[in-house]
Amino acid sequence: LNRMFTEHPDTKSYFTHFKGMDSAEEMKQSDQVRDHGKKVFSAINDMVQHLDNSEAFLGIVTPLGKKHATQLKIDPKNFRIICDIILQLMEEKFGRDCKASFEKVTNEICTHLNSIYKEEGW
């Protein structure tokens, strides 16, 4: 999240409780930013664990997508942004092969989220 907020500062506008944090160091030390990052990775982990079970996968991704589309009104392009940043980090830490493998997962997640957004009128 720190990298996303630094490289794409407009994404921070969706998080009213992060607005007062202007420096990367401040965001890095924030429990709120860290907690939201944990939520993001927990959701991704749940989706990954259920990729082979479409009913369970959709049971996770559908309510998440609907909440972000209807209640939080998050622009769906932000899912691709965070996924691309995760892929960059994976490549930096584990190499290109890891990134290529996980890219299939992020594409699947983004495809389903975009479908849900379309169903919700975006």
| Integer Cα distance of 65 and 91 in angstroms | 26
| Integer Cα distance of 97 and 92 in angstroms | 11
| Integer Cα distance of 64 and 77 in angstroms | 15
Mean pLDDT estimate for the chain: 93
Instruction: Please report the pLDDT score of residue 16 as a whole number.
Output: 85
Q: pTM value?
A: 0.87
Instruction: Please report the pLDDT score of residue 28 as a whole number.
Output: 87
Instruction: Please report the pLDDT score of residue 22 as a whole number.
Output: 79
Rg (CA), the chain: 15
pLDDT tens per residue, range 37-77: 999 999 999 999 999 999 999 999 999 999 999 999 999 99
| Integer Cα distance of 88 and 118 in angstroms | 27
The fourth-level CATH superfamily of domain 30-120 is Globins (1.10.490.10)
Residue extents of the structural domains in the chain? 30-120
